[in-house]
Amino acid sequence: MIKGKNGIFDVVADENLIFSKHKVGRFPDDEEVIKLLQK
């Protein structure tokens, strides 16, 4: 995980953005991140 700026929270795997708090407007839950990483 890399610290963002200005409240940005992105989940990136293999240089691919898989979740963006900025785009969705909320933080992901744990299960959601696990499912996204398994794709």
Q: What pLDDT, on the 0 to 100 scale, is given for residue 20?
A: 94
* Number of separate domains in the chain: 1
b/e sequence 1-23, b meaning 16+ C-beta within 10 Å: eeeeeeeeeebeeeeeebbeeee
Question: How would DSSP label each residue in 1-39?
Answer: ----STT--EEEETTEEEEEHHHHSSPPPHHHHHHHHH-
Question: Each residue of 1-39: pLDDT tens digit?
Answer: 666 778 788 999 999 999 999 999 999 999 999 999 998
Q: What pLDDT, on the 0 to 100 scale, is given for residue 39?
A: 84
Look up the pTM and report it.
0.73
Please give the residue range of the domain that contains residue 22: 1-39
